[in-house]
Structure 1
């Protein structure tokens, strides 16, 4: 279990750092700005998870591999931004992959620390969305989780698969792969088809709620 969580954490760290670095590069930040945003996007979710379950100090602050991976991803993004830009919607693709991996890793670690499966799934979702939220806030944007197509819902779905697999006694690796695929597939499908949760009706979208009409 420990090895699986570590591998998932490092993979999620790398891909979330790429998403942060790509956003920084698109905003024309310098090398330091790219590295800062890469580290913030890659580490916020994991640090939040570790603090909530009592795994202190957080792994991202005591294990050199975490900052090394995130900074390496930042350097890769800074040097090869044009190549990465050739991928279709690179920021959102890397973000969806990081979301999936972190949601699965967060759930596994929460289960390992003795949390009940429903709470572990909730913490897995929080692990997945934390880095993206901090990244967007640093770029003075409304966090993607509050406005995007099935973002937190996708993370919760993947985390629920892992929690359910643990309850049923299924193999950890199988449930991790299944959970990541569910989260990533749901997020990318939502992006492609425009699936989203209902939004409040306001005058801004041209429809005033009946109670506000005079």
Structure 2
């Protein structure tokens, strides 16, 4: 990968760590946790997905532990979230863009990294998605909550799966750099639009609606 582009992706990656670290801190505030709790949730939110991916790949120490900036950024985000309260219209407008950019980049980079180590399509799709949503999943499990990406929220894991799928489709057709940028360019806006329009996958309520229609209008025999 070109060094300049690699640096850009690393910067975006660290921005994602910072934004999701702030989100972890925001949740820690709602849970009335102490500074240690802020730090733990920020680290889990910002670094959890990459740690899971690199651990499963078993190709060396996870990058979040070898690059000192990752832990520093996550802990700094926790400190900022502990001191400042992030809320209001400005935060609500800019957060989805940073979150979407982080998700798209994480999904694309996770997928490319998996393909680069010789994994097949499905494992690469899995690890790309895990990279993007794993941090939030671990954070929610630690808080004894149902992971948000499992349902009841606007599209998130779906956007990660699509971004990862784009990276897989472009693998071998374009350079890895272009594949990562294309996957990010598709996955990131999807998160923003899904949050703005309230897009969700059909759930139990949709099935109940279908059953109600069938009960009201039974098929003629």
Please, what TM-score do these two structures have when normalized by structure 1?
A: 0.81
2:159 corresponds to? 154
Structure 2 CA distance for partners of 1:26 and 1:86, relative to 1, 3 Å: farther
Q: Which moved more, 1:78-87 or 1:146-155?
A: 78-87
2:136 to 124, 129, 132: 132
- Where in structure 2 are the equivalents of 1:54-69 lying within 5 Å? 54-69=58-73
Q: Hey, what's the Cα distance between the residues in 1 that align with 2:170 and 2:135?
A: 25
> Please, which of 72, 75, 79 is the counterpart of residue 76 of structure 2?
72
Structure 2 stretches lacking a partner, 5+ long: 216-221
- Check whether the contact 2:19–2:95 (CA below 8 A) recurs between aligned residues: no
CA 1:194/1:84 → structure 2, altered by over 3 Å: closer, same or farther? closer
Superposition deviation, residue 91 in structure 1: 6.1
Shift of 1:62: 3.4
Name the structure 2 match of 1:165: 170
Partner of 1:36 in structure 2? 40
Bigger mean CA deviation after superposition, 192-201 or 42-51: 192-201
Paired residues of 2:28 and 2:41 also in contact (CA < 8 A) = yes
Larger radius of gyration: 2
CA contact (8 A) 2:15 2:98 kept: no
Q: Find the aligned partners of 2:78 and 2:71 in 1 and give their Cα distance.
A: 10
Q: Report the RMSD for the aligned CA atoms in angstroms.
A: 3.0
Q: Which residue of 1 aligns with 2:49?
A: 45
* Contact preservation (8 Å) 1:149, 1:194: yes
Gaps of 5+ in 1: none
Cα deviation per residue 1:34-85 (whole Å; 9 max; x = unaligned)? 1111001112111110122112322223332221121122222223324787
Aligned-pair distance for 1:93? Answer: 5.3
Count of residues in Structure 1 that have an aligned counterpart in Structure 2: 210
Counterpart of 1:175 in structure 2 is 179
